[in-house]
Amino acid sequence: MNTDVENLFKDKVMGHPAGLFVLFFTEMWERFSFYGMRVLLVNFLTMAAIGYNPGWEWTATNAGALFGTYAGLLYLTPILGGIIADKLTGYRGAVLIGAIIMTLGHASMALETEASLYIGLGLLVIGTGFFKPNITSIISEMYKKNPEKKDGAYTIFYMGVNAGAFFGMMLCGYLAERVGWSYGFGLAGVFMLLGTLQFWLSKNLFGQIGSKPSKKHEVEIAQGLNETEEEEEDLTGDKEKLNPFTMLDKVLIVITSAIGLGYLINDPLSKIGDINLFPYEAFGLPGQIVTVLIGLLLFLILVIRRISRYSKVVRDRMIAFVIFAFFTVFFWMSFEQGASSLILFARDNVDRVLSGNAAIAFNIVNLLLTVIPLAIITWVLYLLWKRTYSKIPGSNIVLVICFLFMWGLVGWMLNRDMSTTAYTVSYQAVAVDDAENETGETTYKPVTLDSELSDDAQVVDLTTTIAEPLTFAVGDELFIINKDNEGANYGYLDEERLAGAKANASELGSESNGIIRAQVTEIKSNEIEITVSWFSILNSFFIIAFASFFSKWFESKYNPSAAAKYALGLIIMALGFGLLAYGSYGVTEGVKVSMIWLVFAYLFHTLGELCLSPVGLSYVSKLVPGRMIALMFGMWYLAIAIGNKLAAVFGGEIENITEAYSLSTFFLIFTIVPAAAGILVFALNPVLKRLMHGVR
């Protein structure tokens, strides 16, 4: 009698079981939703409250505090989600529960109220905890009897991850910036809902795979790895008492976990809500910092206690792993600026306007960049349909609906950009006496509908450019308003947006509604303003473009050591920030830098990620004994969580550091710190090789 695994391998698509591609699309829609929301959050929170697409006008510090806590928790809840799947729900049940919770989270965020935002983020954190560790566990169970095909399976699976991230950031970002924030947040929820539905309808394909809790949770690795070696080297020879968790160990785990969770909650709570869970000072330091330092000290004691009770070889290997985890913090602290400071940099400091031939070239590149990957993934859907329609027709139909929706959105986006026309418009402005203006030049403030001008006001006519997929004639009167926080770009207000701008200003009690009366003076050539979110898709694109090269490199005889990969990852990423520091050097207020610096920065960041990222989890299985895998998995994700939290906290300081020093100084910090860490880990290469005792 054939098992469920053997039945799965009967229906093959591209040499792999069709079930893999069901998981491929499930993960793709989840990543679409996750990255689609992620690229919007900080932009939305910090966008000016009066403008073309009003946000909440939070400070970057507050937005970073909230986003950092959200990002940090995303790497901690999967530990609990894996345990629940093991004991209660099974992998498939956990994935379904997580997907439903995340769908509710996206729906809540689309409401754009403060309460719904917090509820939505909380639901996304909980849902990710169920979803993230268990969908990969289903793959692991599927390939138990075909381990030689597992690497290829994960390669295909992670292509789904990057495809989802690519299209999520592109389409959710475009819709949010061009139409409205709630549309972007809502689109993320729509695809999360459809992805959940197609996964649920595919259950007949998997049989009992992932449906029942197993004794041991598999997350891409074998849990008993290194157990035999450890038992042989242990002097007691007692298999049951190799290194049990003592009561003190368990107490330390509880205390450090509580402190970490308390910090993650307190940071945004104290900054946004002015509620401090640690309202004391010690040694001249705030209570929050003191508590975190105590937590880190206790965690260090826990790790030292656990490691010291192992034999020398195992102990050395675990020390090497701890060193790698330490340097992981520095990498993600810098790399994850892509979700905070680089979003604000792209919005406020990068010249994103292209005109004439440059605009035409961008539209062609964007067309190819969008249509070709979508066509390839649609072909995969066609192959899946042919093999599985008779078994899971409902799931296939939902996927077809998803792709029809996707093609419709892509077509609308590309057509909108290609039919956009630029217009020069004139408007009135009044001279402003600016005591802080060191240049001595006269500055001007636009005259809005509610401006009150004195009799001696110096009024002049100024011009600006708007780009809209609409047809205007020279002499047409229209209304415009600021599109970004710098006041350098303007957008056209149709009747709906005009009414919304007036109502928004009235509700906020603002002195000015920001609405400017203008007149078309010239019809220009094609012009396009690239969305802020577009730059974020470059990471996924570069991963897809270069992943194969790095894979072949690491499989060749020129494969660098683990320390060398870490060093390369940190230093190459630092070079990306170095380019940004150079490109923004000497930039003054109102001046924007070329987008080429940001494009190259994302390129170097991705190359650094491809060097370092594969090293991480694989060394859990290689260096850690079976009984420590759960704790060390937790430690590894803790390192990533700390890196994400620090990234958002430091990224939130971009405005303060730029004001006190310069924008170039801000990026220089993320050049020097990871570069120094990379040099240090490379210097430790001989030590790490000895500690790893032959493990490569």
Residue 349: predicted pLDDT: 92
Residue 220: predicted pLDDT: 39
Q: With a cut of 70, say whether residue 519 has pLDDT above it.
A: yes
Average pLDDT for 476-497: 89
Residue 7: predicted pLDDT: 59
Cα–Cα nearest to 391, from 80, 8, 41: 8
Provide the pLDDT confidence category of residue 11 given band limits of 50, 70 and 90. Answer: low
Residue 245: predicted pLDDT: 76
Average pLDDT for 18-34: 91
Q: What is the pLDDT of residues 343-399, one digit of tens each?
A: 999 999 999 999 888 999 999 999 999 999 999 999 999 999 988 888 899 999 999
Residue 228: predicted pLDDT: 44
Q: Residue 283, Cβ neighbours under 10 Å: how many? A: 7
Measured CA to CA in angstroms, residue 325 lies from 232, 331, 332, 642 at distances of: 27, 10, 11, 11
Give the mean pLDDT of the chain.
Answer: 87
Average pLDDT for 158-177: 94
Q: Could you give the CA distance from residue 17 to residue 401 in angstroms, rounded to a whole number?
A: 23
Q: What is the pLDDT of residues 169-205, one digit of tens each?
A: 999 999 999 999 999 999 999 999 999 999 999 988 8
Residue 235: predicted pLDDT: 35
Give the rounded percent of residues in the chain with a pLDDT score beyond 90.
60
Q: What is the pLDDT of residues 549-579, one digit of tens each?
A: 888 888 888 888 889 999 999 999 999 999 9
Put residue 479 in one of left, alpha, beta given phi > 0 → left and psi -120 to 50 → alpha: beta
Residue 241: predicted pLDDT: 44
Q: What is the pLDDT of residues 203-216, one digit of tens each?
A: 888 877 777 654 44
Residue 3: predicted pLDDT: 55
Q: Under a CB-based contact definition with an 8 Å cutoff, are residues 203 and 388 in contact?
A: no
Q: Do domains 1-219+355-420 and 311-336+534-696 have the same CATH topology?
A: yes
- Residue range 311-336+534-696 in CATH 1.20.1250.20: yes
Residue 54: predicted pLDDT: 94
Provide the pLDDT confidence category of residue 295 given band limits of 50, 70 and 90. Answer: very high
Q: What is the pLDDT of residues 74-115, one digit of tens each?
A: 988 887 887 788 788 888 888 899 999 999 999 999 998 999
Task: Please tell me which residue, 178 or 306, carries the higher pLDDT value.
Answer: 178
Provide the pLDDT confidence category of residue 9 given band limits of 50, 70 and 90. Answer: low
The mean-pLDDT minimum among 60-69, 227-236, 474-483 falls in: 227-236
Highest mean pLDDT among 315-319, 415-419, 617-621: 415-419
Q: With a cut of 60, say whether residue 439 has pLDDT above it.
A: no
Q: With a cut of 50, say whether residue 221 has pLDDT above it.
A: no
Q: Under a CB-based contact definition with an 8 Å cutoff, are residues 612 and 34 in contact?
A: no
DSSP assignment of 319-381 equals HHHHHHHHHHHHHHHHHGGGGTHHHHHHHHTEE-EEETHHHHHHHHHHHHHHHHHHHHHHHHH
Highest mean pLDDT among 310-324, 430-444, 661-675: 661-675
Superfamily of domain 1-219+355-420: MFS general substrate transporter like domains (1.20.1250.20)
Q: What is the pLDDT of residues 599-611, one digit of tens each?
A: 999 999 999 999 9
Q: With a cut of 50, say whether residue 224 has pLDDT above it.
A: no
Amino acid type, 360: I
Residue 172: predicted pLDDT: 96
The mean-pLDDT minimum among 153-162, 574-583, 604-613, 637-646 falls in: 153-162
Task: Please tell me which residue, 543 or 6, carries the higher pLDDT value.
Answer: 543
Average pLDDT for 242-264: 87
Largest Cα separation within the chain, whole Å, is 96
Q: Under a CB-based contact definition with an 8 Å cutoff, are residues 44 and 110 in contact?
A: no
The mean-pLDDT minimum among 71-85, 122-136, 607-621 falls in: 607-621
Q: With a cut of 90, say whether residue 402 has pLDDT above it.
A: yes
Provide the pLDDT confidence category of residue 627 given band limits of 50, 70 and 90. Answer: low
Provide the pLDDT confidence category of residue 6 given band limits of 50, 70 and 90. Answer: low
Residue 236: predicted pLDDT: 36
Residue 263: predicted pLDDT: 94
What tokens does 312 get? 């020398």
Residue 231: predicted pLDDT: 42
Provide the pLDDT confidence category of residue 8 given band limits of 50, 70 and 90. Answer: low
Provide the pLDDT confidence category of residue 672 given band limits of 50, 70 and 90. Answer: very high
Provide the pLDDT confidence category of residue 631 given band limits of 50, 70 and 90. Answer: low
Q: With a cut of 90, say whether residue 70 has pLDDT above it.
A: yes
Residue 539: predicted pLDDT: 94
Give the rounded percent of residues in the chain with a pLDDT score beyond 70.
90
What tokens does 662 get? 């310069």
Q: Could you give the CA distance from residue 544 to residue 537 in angstroms, rounded to a whole number?
A: 11
* pTM for the model: 0.90
Q: What is the domain partition of the chain in residue ranges?
A: 1-219+355-420, 245-309, 311-336+534-696, 421-527
Q: Residue 121, Cβ neighbours under 10 Å: how many? A: 22
